[in-house]
Structure 1
Amino acid sequence: MHLLILVAVISVVCGTLLPFQNVCLLAGILAAVSVRVSSYRWLLLVVAVSSVWGSFYTSQRVALLLPEEISGERFKVAGCIAEPAMASPTLRSGQTVLRFVLSPQSVTFHGDPVATGDLRLSWYNPGVESFLAGDCIDAEVTLKRPRNIENDLAFDYELWLMREGVTATGYVRSLDFTQQLSRGSQSETRLSDNTKAWIDGLVFGKPDAFTPHQWRLVRNTGTLHVLVVSGLHVGMVAMVAFVLASALVRLLRVVGIRTGTYGHWIARMAAVAMTGGYVLVAGSGIALIRAWLLATLLMLLWGAARQIRFAQVLSLVMLVTLIADPLLWTSAGFLYSFVAVYALILLLEGRRNGVVGPWMVPQFAVMAGLAPVMMIWGQPLGVVHVIANTLIIPLISFCILPLSLLLSVYESEWADTAMQYLSDLFWQLQTLFNAWSLPAILPGAVWVLPWIALVLLWRSGLHWAHCALGLALFTLAAHELTDQTSKLWLFDVGQGQSLMVRDAGRTLVIDTGAAYSPDFSMASAVVIPWLEKSGAESLDLLVISHSDNDHAGGLDTLLAQYPAVVRLAGQPARHQAWHFQDCHERGLLALSDSVSLKFFSLPEALRRNDNDHSCVLQLNYYGRRVLIPGDITAQAEAALVDLYGDDLQSDVLVAAHHGSRTSSAEVWLDTVAPAEVWISSGYKNRYGHPHTEVLRRLKERNIRLFLTAESGFLSIDADGHRDCGRCGWVPWWR
């Protein structure tokens, strides 16, 4: 039975990766074969049915996505707000934005109805400060099909939206209320701000309960999972509920009320009911429902614990979860929770761990099991992560979470005081762990096999201390080997620009991409994960071409986590807090023996606007010249041609101003004479970049064109091998 369950799980996953027609053909073949092969009949039928369901579910989700041919057009929509939303400032001067999810009742394009799911919309400079769930509107909006930025990172924005039922994104052009709920005054509370943050975050599952800085701290220490309402919290609630109910049953017996053989069942059902209530209050997310289902099964099967294998129960829960949502396997929470529990069952079952073992072995088991998952999801793994989890998980489980639950239903001064103390302790530990500079295994599939071998050695009987020593040596080796990689990247950051060079353990970043709110930027979503993935501990050189948001929006976020030794900018006065030097006053600058930068300065009198203040630099990367002119205009291009002439010749040109018609003039292209032009621009962006006139000039000169909007990230290595985000296999729904 266990084998059939695991086969069904794998088949559902594989089904989501294949088009529905192909899966139906394969299922028909398997069904026909099963008639002839009686010994494997059930196995083949399970594969056929499970894969068909996975593919059918995915195809139904894809069918609701906005059709490509009308993506980027204007639509009339009517519907109601799905969840509360607050307006927040953007980093664009004088603008605020209200981002919300709309459950549409009707969507029309030129009067014709369009079938869609939920819409994720932005309203710039909105007429209200907030939306309440249940507010209803009529609006004119611009919609486009969701599209992931491709940077070889684990998080898939397009797939996440599809799982959430969001089938189009866009922005509001005009809006009228058809129903606006009353904004009543908020209930007062005597609790401190720290306590309210923990209650909102751990009990009610609000992601904005903690600041972006706090999220960065826990992510860096590998303890982010403790702040996300998950199976850990559900399990804790179940345990507390069972203990309290058991105590109540014993109290009833003491006072003479007999419960007979039903006492244990009363405690178990109380735990199931209380945990279910917690799941409802915390938002009823699929991860919480999954954890509640697992807790319920364990409670029901507790009495038969000697006859069942808990790994089999866990596999059954996994199958039920995937039947409900076959695409859930792509989420980090699904993998983290199931792999962690599997690791505990696999590595602790039937083992004696001595005195130290009960404290160290569970942590080692979980970290050993989660290591491949953490690497796949771009999370470095090292000694500091093991130490942090060893201390932080008990602090959350046995102190902060129970107090948060208590204070959510009963305000107590002593509990509030205790919570403030524990909160300070939690963040002080996080700050301490962030300050430690210990080697880590960097993300990458190449390290998965050694980890699996280490786990198998422990399973075969090797002492945990020997495995821990092997882990330390392996971490050092992996850290040193990965540090020597060399590559040049132009990231896919939508309508913006960001490049990175990594060579001989040194790192250069040119521009950061845009920031869309104080909580989200392309620096946090793309640049910083790549710095972590490549093993950088700091920046040796940072260049900010000019101050526009699409080039410098993520500057504060980046420097807060990765200090830069040398900082150059085209408009240093705009970044006084970070003490930038003027790039127009620099000539040659070396990053390493094989990588150098040459700056072409434009006379100050010709820098007529922000764009013409851009740093213009030529990157010499292992003999290949890459010219990066920022957002300069055609007038600045002509002036540079007059000043520097043939010195501007390059193998690769990163088109100025994202391919705008105000740049990439004919005289510029003829002088630079690139074999390739790379353009960093957003998919169906509202500016129309790259402009058709620029594309015509490139075609006339037989210059090879690469667009990040089409190819994803672009990169070359020291040997000249090129790679891109969409060059290899991509899921069929894209």
Structure 2
Amino acid sequence: MPVAVPLRPPSFSLCAVAAAALAGCAAATALPALPSRPVLGITLAVAAVLAAMKRWPWARLPALALAFAAWGALHATQRMGHRLSPGMEGRDVVITGRVVDLPRRRGADVSFLFQPLPRAGEPPVRGILRLTWYRAPRVPEACESWRFTLRLRRPRGAVNPGGFDAERNALQRDIAATGYVRASPGNARLAAGHCVDGWRDAIGQQLDAELGPQGARILKALATGDTRGLDAADWDIARATGTSHLIAISGFHVGVAAGGGVLAVRALYLLLPWLATRLPRRIAQGMAGLGVAFAYGMLAGMGLPTVRTLLMVAVLVAAAASRRRMGGLPLLALALVAVLVVDPLAVLSAGFWLSFAGVAFLMACVVQAGKGWRARLAAMLRTQAVMSVALLPLSFWCFGSASLWSFPANLVAAPLVSFAVIPLTLLGCAALPVAALSGPMLQGAALLVGGLWRVLSPLADAPGAHATVPEAGLVPVMLATASAAWAFAPRGLPLRGFALLGCLPLVFPPRDDPAEGAFRAWVLDVGQGLAVLVRTRSHTLVYDTGPAYAGGGDAGAGTVLPALGALGIAPAHLLVVSHGDADHAGGAASVHRRFPAAPVVSGEPGRLRLPAGACARAPPWAWDGVRFHFMAVPMPSGGKASANDQSCVLAVEGHAGRLLLTGDISGKAEARMAAGELRSPLPTVTTIAHHGSRHSSTPAWLRAVRPRIAVASTGWRNRFGHPHPLVVDRHAAQGVEVYDTARSGALRIDVPATGAPRVVREWRRPARRYWRE
């Protein structure tokens, strides 16, 4: 007679629990709007009930995912609630607070993070403020308390194809507002302070004194996470060789520091064996490793890779103390769950995915090395190949580009930095009070880093250093990542040789090029500036490259190049810089550096720091059935035209529509242009001249051009008030559709071979994520 066996609830592994938690937190980030707090509270209660019901044991993992989704949404609700009230934008407010992190000085300007402190009579502002003090009379130091008069606004960034999401980054870092310090007699330093950031700054100053700012710049990044001394060229070399993770303090570096603590205790127990009678060596080693790792993590600023490694070390120590062994994947899963419990919004960070995926790949794909140097060498090569190649799909997804030189570069750089430079740097910093000890170690580390940089520099300009793929959906990225892991799996897994076929949808996505005689244009969101991409069937033109930024960098490198890669329309075949003003030409050098074969033409070639011809002498040409020509802007009768009025005015004419790119020409220049050339039977799309200045886009110009669609490229809440309401009204009176990149983000405009031109997409609208302003 059969015996009834009662059903027991299934026991889920730590890996399954971690997967459910990760799925829940990731799902919460896809919400277009956040539920209310009562709804989230009810969701958590429902998840708890489902998890406790014995009749539905299989509902526990979905319940866990639901609970973590609600947990992540609650954190997001709290941080979104920290954002500056809209009513406080654009007003002068007095706020007292403390300087956090390390202030950065660029010329006479200083940027820093500021934590407001509750003070009677001051507006309640929570979260962190990202501030700039222009022409600062004094640089605020880390940990100091100050009272400032500030002009603030809610976090807002440009929204472009392939671009950096500044608003998501602000949410992750709890940035409540951005702004600048106003000139006021009330601005005052109230008190000094003591904090970890102050110690980091002091160590950096000692390294500068020992090695000089140039020699110490990379060692400061390795020792304390202080990257203020690194310039754009340093970062470009690191990104182009896939070694950025070695400059920033990574989890592996923290692991090396923990290993140093373990070795020190082991040596101590060898010298003093009687210590084992007081405290078991295994526990002492774990505690020392955790202590050293925690101290290093504090100096590093407690970034996500650091926190993840500290949690893993803590779990190892706890397992050792309880005399339990735990496998690698369960250990990683436990660290993942711990990170998501502490900060469920960590899933918004690219470093989170790369960090955990990299360790998981190593555990799954790298087998234990056999005996002998050949086996160890093969294991090292395989390890580096897994980290460099298997993470490429995620790198393309997170950053839009990756370096094909990552494998050979890291093969040299990773062991050198991790096992020589890092130990010498940390020991040198620990011995700073004794110059005779610290000097040789720090100089040796600087010598090694300098040699490494000379080896990596040529690779930064090699083909493949900035490989890009068009933006793809989540499915091709997941398929390519799984295929890369499959290819590196241990022997015995079938069909490994065909695994990389799964990468083809990511590398070669379906193309949708314009037809013959048709073209597309993207007006990018570069703030108060202009950058336009024009694509025919097989050619790409870049018109203007946006501004250069006061803090370093430019829109060419930060916006134009990522957009070209994300849209799959690189390389550029022609670069047109309308004139020499910084808001139009600021990124030209970066674009030209990436595509040196593309000719450059400009209305003011003499003002550019690169070889360029004059657009006035450029003959008309045709690409794929689309005609291009520069319109003549006659000189004034009384003398030389202004810089704005020397702008190149480019007409792009397809079979069924026309695009006019107008630079910064004024109403006077518009009046000098031939009305007959401006008129066209084709429906016209135009950029609004000079960002919508009241002195451009005159009624006579609009009557001659007769645009259907007009786009103003402006910065949000810009100080010029562009586009001017009178200009918007002039266009509205003519029945023109007016778009503004400050409100729309980047825009895609299609001019088909048949049919009317139309705006196909606005990158900021609709707001598909809850953090988007």
TM-score, structure 1 length as denominator? 0.88
Alpha-carbon distance, 1:61 to partner:
0.5
Q: Among residues 690, 707, 712, which one is paired with 1:657 in the alignment?
A: 690
Hey, what's the Cα distance between the residues in 2 that align with 1:403 and 1:491?
46
Correspondences of 1:261-660 after superposition (within 5 Å): 262-301=280-319, 307-348=325-366, 357-381=378-402, 383-410=404-431, 411=435, 412-438=438-464, 440=467, 442=469, 444-445=471-472, 447-448=476-477, 449-456=479-486, 458-459=488-489, 461=491, 467=497, 487-503=520-536, 506-517=539-550, 519-534=552-567, 539-563=572-596, 565-575=598-608, 577-590=609-622, 592-605=623-636, 608-620=641-653, 624-642=657-675, 644-647=677-680, 651-660=684-693
Q: Is the partner of 2:697 in helix, strand or coil?
A: coil
Aligned residues of 2:745 and 2:764 also touching (Cα < 8 A): yes
User: Which amino acid in the other structure matches residue 635 of structure 1?
Assistant: K
Deviates more, 1:194-203 or 1:75-84: 75-84
Q: Which runs of 5+ in 2 are unaligned?
A: 1-11, 193-197, 515-519
The 1-side partners of 2:455 and 2:512 are apart by 32
Instruction: Please say if residues 526 and 559 of structure 2, whose CA atoms lie closer than 8 Å, have aligned partners that are also in contact.
Output: yes
Equivalence map 1:669-684=2 (5 Å): 669-684=702-717
Q: Does structure 2 retain, via aligned residues, the 8 Å contact 1:223–1:392?
A: yes
Label 1:287 to 1:680 Cα distance change in 2 as closer, same or farther (>3 A): same
Taking the aligned partners of 1:6 and 1:102, their CA distance within structure 2 comes to: 36
1:291 is paired with a residue of what secondary structure? helix
CA distance in 1, matches of 2:54, 2:494: 49
Aligned residue pair count: 719
Q: Which amino acid aligns with 2:701?
A: W
Tell me by how many angstroms 1:237 deviates.
1.2
Q: CA deviation at 1:278?
A: 0.9
Query: What one-letter code is carried by the residue in structure 1 that aligns with 2:633?
Result: L
Letter aligned with residue 225 of structure 1: H
For structure 1, which segment, 509-518 or 614-623, has the greater mean C-alpha deviation from structure 2 after superposition? Answer: 614-623
Q: Distance between the aligned counterparts of 1:648 and 1:406, measured in 2?
A: 75
Report the CA distance shift for 1:422/1:504 in structure 2 as closer, same or farther (over 3 A): farther
Structure 1 residues 387 and 703, CA gap change in structure 2 (3 angstroms): same
Shift of residue 397, structure 1, vs aligned partner: 1.0
The correspondence for 1:8, drawn from 15, 21, 25, is 21
Distance 1:650 1:152 in 2: 26
Map Cα deviations across residues 296-346 of structure 1 (whole Å, 9 max, x no partner).
Answer: 223443588985332122122112112222211111211111110011112
Q: Do the aligned residues in 2 keep the contact of 1:192 with 1:416 (CA within 8 Å)?
A: no
Secondary structure of 2:187 counterpart:
strand
CA-CA distance at 1:146 after TM superposition: 0.9
Name the CA shift for 1:320/1:335 in 2 (closer, same or farther; >3 Å). Answer: same
- Partners of 1:535 and 1:259 lie apart in 2 by 66
Distance 1:595 1:479, change over 3 A: farther
Q: Is the 2:214–2:229 Cα contact (8 Å) retained in structure 1? A: no
Q: Distance in 2 between matches of 1:443 and 1:386?
A: 22
C-alpha contact 1:714 1:723 (8 A) present in aligned 2 = yes
**Is the partner of 1:174 in helix, strand or coil?**
coil
Q: CA deviation at 1:595?
A: 4.5
Would you say the 8 A contact 1:570–1:582 is kept in 2? Answer: yes
3-state DSSP class of the match of 1:328?
A: helix
Q: Which has the higher mean CA deviation after the structures are superposed, 38-47 or 699-708?
A: 38-47
Kept in 1: contact 2:368–2:379 (CA 8 A): no
Alignment match, 2:234 = 214
The residue identity in structure 2 corresponding to 1:625 is R
Q: Against the structure 1 CA distance between its residues 400 and 364, is the aligned structure 2 distance closer, same or farther, given a 3 Å change threshold? A: same
CA contact (8 A) 1:16 1:326 kept: no
Tell me, what secondary structure is at the counterpart of 2:117? strand
Shift of 1:650: 5.3
The answer to whether residue 95 in structure 2 is matched with residue 82 in structure 1 is: no
Answer yes or no: is the 8 Å Cα contact 1:151–1:712 preserved in 2: yes
For 2:493 and 2:548, how far apart are their aligned partners in 1?
A: 49
How much has 1:466 moved relative to structure 2?
6.6
Distance 1:52 1:650, change over 3 A: same
2:152 pairs with 131, 143, 157, which one?
A: 143
Q: Quick one: distance in 1 between partners of 2:628 and 2:603?
A: 15
1:101 aligns with 2:113: yes
Can you list the C-alpha shifts for 1:86-114, whole angstroms capped at 9, x where unaligned? Answer: 4423xxxxxx4222222223699xx8834
Change (3 A) 1:416 1:71: closer
Moved more, 296-305 or 229-238: 296-305
* TM-score, normalised relative to structure 2: 0.84
- Displacement of 1:374 after TM fit? 0.5
Quick one: structure 1 residues 583 and 319, their matched pair in 2 at CA, closer, same or farther if it must change by over 3 Å? same
1:240–1:707 Cα change, 3 Å? same
Letter of the aligned partner of 2:444 in structure 1?
A: A
Contact 1:374–1:380 at 8 Å: present in 2 too? yes
Distance 1:368 1:299, change over 3 A: farther
* Alignment check: 8 A CA contact 1:483 1:534 kept: no
Per-residue CA distance 1:427-464 (angstroms, 9 max, x = gap): 12222322332495625336522442343355374689
User: In the alignment, is the contact (CA less than 8 A) between 1:28 and 1:48 conserved in 2?
Assistant: no
Shift of 1:475: 8.0
How well do the aligned residues superpose, as a CA RMSD in angstroms? 3.5
Report the more deviating stretch, 344-353 or 264-273.
Answer: 344-353
1:160 & 1:558 partners in 2: Cα distance?
25
Q: CA offset at residue 501 of structure 1?
A: 3.0
Check 1:100–1:136 CA distance in 2 against 1; reply closer, same or farther (3 A cut). Answer: same
One-letter amino acid matched to 1:171:
Y
Call closer, same or farther: CA 1:173–1:199 in 2, change over 3 Å: same
For residues 652 and 747 of structure 2, what CA distance do their matches in structure 1 show?
A: 15
Q: In the alignment, is the contact (CA less than 8 A) between 2:577 and 2:601 conserved in 1?
A: yes
Q: Give the Cα separation in 1 of the matches to 2:99 and 2:526.
A: 29
Q: Secondary structure at the match of 1:602?
A: coil
Which residue pairs with 1:92 in the alignment? none
Change in CA separation of 1:12 and 1:433 when aligned onto 2, cut-off 3 Å: same
Higher deviation after alignment, 195-204 or 505-514: 505-514
* Deviation sequence 1:453-506 (CA, Å, 0-9, x none): 343355374689975x975x8889976778995653211111211112345664
User: Residue by residue, what CA displacement relative to the aligned partner does 1:508-543 show, whole Å, maximum 9, x if unpaired?
Assistant: 221121122252322222122224445677543211
Q: Distance in 2 between matches of 1:700 and 1:477?
A: 47
Once residues 571 and 154 of structure 1 are traced to their aligned partners in structure 2, the CA distance between those partners, rounded to angstroms, is: 29
Judge conservation of contact 1:361–1:464 (CA < 8 Å) in 2.
no
1:189 lines up with 2:219 in the alignment: no
Distance 2:506 2:513 in 1: 12
Cα deviation, 1:222-279, whole Å, max 9, x if unaligned, reads: 22111111212111212232233323322334xx765588122222221111111111
Q: Secondary structure at the match of 1:206?
A: coil
Alignment of 1:122 with 2:132, yes or no, is yes
What's the secondary structure of 1:100's corresponding residue?
A: strand
Paired residues of 2:574 and 2:599 also in contact (CA < 8 A): yes
Change in CA separation of 1:629 and 1:164 when aligned onto 2, cut-off 3 Å: same
Question: SS at 2:177's partner residue?
Answer: strand
2:187 to 172, 177, 184: 177
Aligned-pair identity in percent equals: 27
Q: How many Å apart are 1:656 and its aligned residue? A: 0.9
Inter-partner Cα distance in structure 2 for 1:435 and 1:477: 28
Provide the rounded CA distance (Å) in 2 between the counterparts of 1:344 and 1:372.
16
Secondary structure (helix, strand or coil) at the match of 1:131 reads coil
Distance in 2, Cα, partners of 1:458 & 1:629: 53
